[in-house]
Amino acid sequence: MIDSELFGHEKGAFTGAIRTKEGRFELADNGTIFLDEVSELPLSTQSRLLRILQEKEYQRVGGTRTLHSDFRLITASNKNLADEVAQGRFRADLFFRLNVFPINVPPLRTRKEDIRPLASHFLKLFCTRYDRIEPDISDSEMEKMQAYPWPGNVRELANMMERAVILGEPRIKFLAPGPSGTTAEAGNRPQTLLEIEKAHIRKTITLTHGKIGGSDGASALLGLKRTTLIKRMKRLEITVEKSA
């Protein structure tokens, strides 16, 4: 319940409200609060937000006591709020109250020079999180990334870098969504199931540094018997320098 999250609630205000809870605005007193995707707030919540912006006062859900909070508010939206106002989905008075110092962030597709540093940032972030070695991005793969329109903006780039780190790829191989929603290498046909299986086995073997058997070997990670994995490797013509 968004009102409870923002403004808090009193004990017994609704089912499950077993104790009084401070809201985000209460916690942000003498500080800063950031509201992402503010355009998604329901109109009823927009009314409460307008009141606290104008009067610096509010009531918890289920409460009657008026509380005060002095805060700095920063909001963000991936939609044009003026258009949302015209469509009746966003309050005009709240829009003008928020639109004091707007900052327009262009979509990633128009900021190609930002793709390399952002990709590097996310790789470092996720490699630290998952304790992995940072993969390389060749100039040719970076050119593909810069040519891609990135409809999901920075979040899509972050997700792609996280997926590469999880798979343990030593080098980034850029994959763009295909027309049917499947993933295919940019400009090429979708991969066959055998190609996907072969690539996945290779990545797993790389992750285990060439170890096939044992509790920490590739066969265990893939959920296969050692002999079964070896047979598949022969069928798919996969060779490794080290075996166990």
Q: Nearest CA to 226 among 205, 196, 198, 199?
A: 205
Convert the pLDDT of each residue in 86-114 to its tens digit: 999 999 999 999 999 999 989 999 999 99
* Containing structural domain, residue 132: 108-170+179-187
In a domain, 103, yes or no: no
In a domain, 65, yes or no: yes
Q: At 33, phi and psi to the nearest 5?
A: -125, 140
What integer pLDDT is reported at residue 108 of this predicted model?
Answer: 93
Residue that is last in its domain, among 98, 130, 158: 98
Q: Are residues 15 and 82 in the same domain?
A: yes
* Residue 139 pLDDT grade (very low, low, confident, very high; cuts 50, 70, 90): very high
Residue that is last in its domain, among 98, 123, 143: 98
Whole-number Å distance between alpha carbons of 166 and 127 = 9
Average pLDDT over all residues of the chain: 87
Q: What is the CATH number of the domain that holds 8?
A: 3.40.50.300
Convert the pLDDT of each residue in 166-198 to its tens digit: 777 788 888 766 544 444 343 344 566 677 778
Whole-number Å distance between alpha carbons of 164 and 177 = 15
Contact 63, 9 (CB under 8 A): yes
pTM tops 0.85, yes or no: no
What integer pLDDT is reported at residue 200 of this predicted model?
Answer: 83
Convert the pLDDT of each residue in 37-87 to its tens digit: 999 999 999 999 999 999 999 999 999 999 999 999 999 998 899 999 999
Residue 207 has pLDDT above 90, yes or no: no
Contact 97, 53 (CB under 8 A): yes
Q: Are residues 41 and 82 in the same domain?
A: yes
